[in-house]
Chain A
């Protein structure tokens, strides 16, 4: 089973700043099959990035994903108030389970 470790656990930033979220895998994720999700309180998660760097439909270009192998990054430039949420990474490149990270909470400073 691939274990995903996200850092930091909580990130406190102000609107307009740049956010960098990390997701590290315990072993290489095949074919960069890594996704990022955003979850706001009381809501289901929603897809932000898939294939490590492809934005989902409707996701603004201030969101970008990068990385390969065991190290992946979600970057949000120029934070907007609606971007503050919990972000999860997920790998879907090996046999199940398609594990999730423990989440990074992006909060307003």
Chain B
């Protein structure tokens, strides 16, 4: 199992600004995942963050908009850049070496509102 501390838990931001979300895991993990849930939509994978290499982004998500850092095996950040109201969502980090066949562990989520 893994315990993930995610912060901030919520924020209200002005459009055009950026917000960095942090996730700290209580154990070393190979892969960390960042998800977004827009209102009324599914939890959608933004990118996979591996330590020591660039993050792998899913279709529709780009590094300039969602830069990710993974400086070590217990920590990662996601930045939501140049925010617009469409970025208002819940952002979640998750860990697991094999998300397919074993359970995933999640942070508490960051509820972002862009005004």
User: Do A and B come from the same complex?
Assistant: no
The residues of B with any CB-CB pair to A shorter than 8 Å are none
The residues of A with any CB-CB pair to B shorter than 8 Å are none
